[in-house]
Amino acid sequence: MGAGDVPPRATQVAALEMELSLARRPDVYLVLNPSARQLEVKVRGVALDRIPLRGVEKILHVPLLSASSPPPFPLPAVWRVVDGPGDSDREYIAPTELRPYKAEGYDDPPAAATPTRPGAPPPTATPIPEPPASYRAQLDCGWDLWITETLPPLGFLARARAAVRDGWERLRGRGTHPRPAITLAMDRDDAKRLHHLMRSGMPLLVLADP
């Protein structure tokens, strides 16, 4: 360190060491920088994609006039996705029965893989469901990671309406109890791309303020 250099903060050093431990493995990891409002997709320390965030909030489902606020997180920290939406929202195909193999029979290619022949209709791909733009993934820190295009309405009147509606549903035994969520608001296409990437066990490094 040179004479004019500013010594690094302990949290910066800790974040660097945490990232090093993640980068030693060949897996994809995410780096959330709340103050820069940015989420990075990284492998081996290389930023492969950067997603700008419109908002980073802690969102809780609480009584309307609740005075309690959640305790601050100790950061930096590495949390892991417990149930990756990229794993759980999958389409299954299962033939009901299998017929004996015939070489000539296999020459009938599947619809998804028919080569284009003169005069033949063009091949079509098996349709893949469009990923959602708003979804939740459980984190091992006890919170959810809520990826959404738009934050829920948070003004007092909107919250009062939501509380009345939720009170009515609770009275009918159908109340919802969403887990507290670290909420990242981003563009629709970014949210879909992240859904495709977010697998169970994927680490999320959350940086502290610079």
Q: Which of residues 66-125 bind another protein (CB under 8 A)?
A: 66, 69-70, 72-77, 86, 90-103, 105-106, 110, 112-116, 122-123, 125
Q: What character string, x for contact with another protein (CB under 8 A) and - otherwise, covers 123-162? A: x-xx-x----------------------xx-x---xxx-x
Task: Output the smallest distance, CB 139 to another protein, in A.
Answer: 14
| Largest pairwise CA distance in the chain | 78
> Which amino acid type is present at position 107?
D
Task: Output the smallest distance, CB 207 to another protein, in A.
Answer: 9
Binding positions for another protein, 7-36, rule CB under 8 A: 7-17, 19-20, 23-28, 34
Calpha distance 200→144 (Å, rounded):
13
φ, ψ (nearest 5 deg) of residue 94:
-150, 110
Selected binder of another protein within 54, 134, 193, 200 (CB under 8 A): 193
Calpha distance 76→108 (Å, rounded):
56
Asked if residue 131 lies in contact with residue 67, where contact means CB atoms within 8 angstroms, the answer is no
Residues in the interface with another protein (CB under 8 A) total 102
Task: Output the smallest distance, CB 1 to another protein, in A.
Answer: 4
Task: Output the smallest distance, CB 80 to another protein, in A.
Answer: 15
**Radius of gyration, alpha carbons of the chain:** 23
170 contacts another protein (rule: CB under 8 A)? yes
- DSSP, collapsed to helix, strand or coil, labels residue 89 as coil
Nearest of 71, 183, 83, 197 to residue 139 by alpha carbon: 83
12 vs 82, beta carbon nearer another protein: 12
φ, ψ (nearest 5 deg) of residue 151:
-70, 150
Task: Output the smallest distance, CB 102 to another protein, in A.
Answer: 8
82 vs 159, beta carbon nearer another protein: 159
Nearest of 209, 179, 156, 196 to residue 34 by alpha carbon: 209
Selected binder of another protein within 48, 52, 150, 201 (CB under 8 A): 48
